[in-house]
A = this chain, B = another copy of it.
Amino acid sequence: MSLNEEVEALRSVPLFAKIEPSRLKLLAFTSERLTFPAGQELFHQGDPGDAAYIILDGQADIVVDTLNGELVVAKVGKYDFVGEIAILIDVPRTATIRAETELTTLAITKDLFFRLISEFPDMSVEIMRELAHRLEATTAQLREAKSAA
């Protein structure tokens, strides 16, 4: 894919919607496009984490290991952002992400992540909203699990 095509692709990611094309060129240069076949893990619960991923295409499961086996806690797809917890707070991966279909992602290293959010406040707001949504969904699942106990 040419640099211009890559920039065009990045422009359609809502998280980057307000970033000028000239800056997106920098992002296209400094981030890495990674693909995963169906069934492969982007990372496993407990791994150390040094990158987050923006899903450009495909679907994946967020999976948590329990003593009773695996639990799919959420599904993610096009333009979702995953893996930022381990780079925000230096903890091992809190869940496994597994490609459900072939997955195309943009890998964002920790350094690049912090550079992006300090330069683009709108991106921070979107990431906060994403974290808030996931916290709400996980709290709802916990409420349900504790109601059934």
Number of contacting residues on A, CB 8 A?
Answer: 42
- Find out whether the CB atom of B145 lies under 8 angstroms from the CB atom of A67: no
CA distance A124 to B138 in the complex (A): 22
Within A51-89, which residues are at the interface with B (CB < 8 Å)?
A: 64-68, 71, 73, 84-85, 88-89
Complex: how many Å from CA A84 to CA B67? 33
Can you report 29 residue pairs joining A to B where beta carbons are below 8 Å apart? Answer: A64-B142, A64-B143, A64-B146, A65-B143, A66-B143, A67-B147, A71-B142, A84-B128, A84-B132, A85-B136, A88-B128, A88-B129, A89-B129, A89-B136, A94-B135, A94-B139, A94-B140, A117-B121, A117-B125, A118-B125, A127-B128, A128-B128, A128-B131, A131-B131, A131-B135, A138-B142, A141-B142, A142-B145, A145-B149
